[in-house]
Amino acid sequence: MSSDVRFTDFKSDKQPTWCPGCGDFGTMNGMMKALANTGADPDNTFLVAGIGCSGKIGTYMHSYALHGVHGRALPVGAGVKIANPDLEVMVAGGDGDGYSIGAGHFVHAARRNVDMTYVVMDNRIYGLTKGQASPTSREDFETATTPEGPKQPPVDPLALAHAAGATFIAQSFSSDAQRHTEIVQAAIEHDGFGFVNVFSPCVTFNDVDTYDYFRDSLVDLQETDHDPTDEDDAKAQIVDAETEQQGVVYRDPNSVPYSELRGLDSNMAEIPDGAPEDATDLVREFY
């Protein structure tokens, strides 16, 4: 960790090709600022992303990065963190990537509590493939492929995370730069799986869940009497919420990360010279 890191140190020399006004710009800027605020070093940071607009983020940030396949970013991130606990691991995805094809991995990453940060850019639409309904689209959201709406209730990412046993659950808005950065930073600093669902409006294909909509409807839990360390209070906020909300919904103060729980504290990349004893006999046994 370094105290001399600036958020611009996490910027690559590649210019984003996101649509002008896309919420992913604000989401990424907050991620970079949060990393810098924690003292993370780009040379000690590993970013994993999947498919979709969010999948490009590894190109735009200066760190080690892997652009994986659809829905599979989380197991890669978990493997990286377990193999080298000294790395700061961040996984980025979208609502389709994380809550559709990747939903199973999301559940297991949450319950395993691997010490990494998962930031989902939730624009409630499939943007890169030209505007199909996503798992978080409203039931009556009309698109070219669902002209009468999906006609099924949207996935609730916070409820899914809580049901899976996540120890840190939060939500932010990409346009609220300061709060978004604070929330992502809290997720990074959490000992365990830090999950942040980010409202990141798609200005091209979603004219319902807009910047103005979130500005008018968002309630910041920090301005209420909500106690994020009280699981019953957190559950009530998730289940009974009557409006959109941002802030830390739940944080388990007794969280123990997977690696610590399993005693996996060494860098597996540091392989001693020479083959392990009896390795040749073991290979011959199976071949």
Contacts of 189 (CB under 8 A, 6+ apart): 38
Helix (H, G, I), strand (E, B) or coil at 2: coil
- Residue (of 113, 245, 254, 238) closest to 183 by Cα position: 245
> At 68, is the pLDDT very low, low, confident or very high (cuts 50, 70, 90)?
confident
Tens digits of residue pLDDT in 246-273: 999 999 999 999 999 998 888 887 766 6
Per the CB < 8 A criterion, the answer to whether 240 and 67 are in contact is no
Q: Cα(74)–Cα(159) distance, rounded to whole angstroms?
A: 18
Domains of the chain: 7-284 (3.40.50.970)
- Phi and psi dihedrals of 173, rounded to 5? -125, 125
Contacts of 258 (CB under 8 A, 6+ apart): 78, 82, 112, 113, 114, 115, 192, 264
Q: Cα(214)–Cα(197) distance, rounded to whole angstroms?
A: 14
Query: Considering the chain, what percentage of its residues have pLDDT values greater than 90?
Result: 82
Tens digits of residue pLDDT in 163-200: 999 999 999 999 999 999 999 999 999 999 999 999 99
Per the CB < 8 A criterion, the answer to whether 25 and 16 are in contact is yes
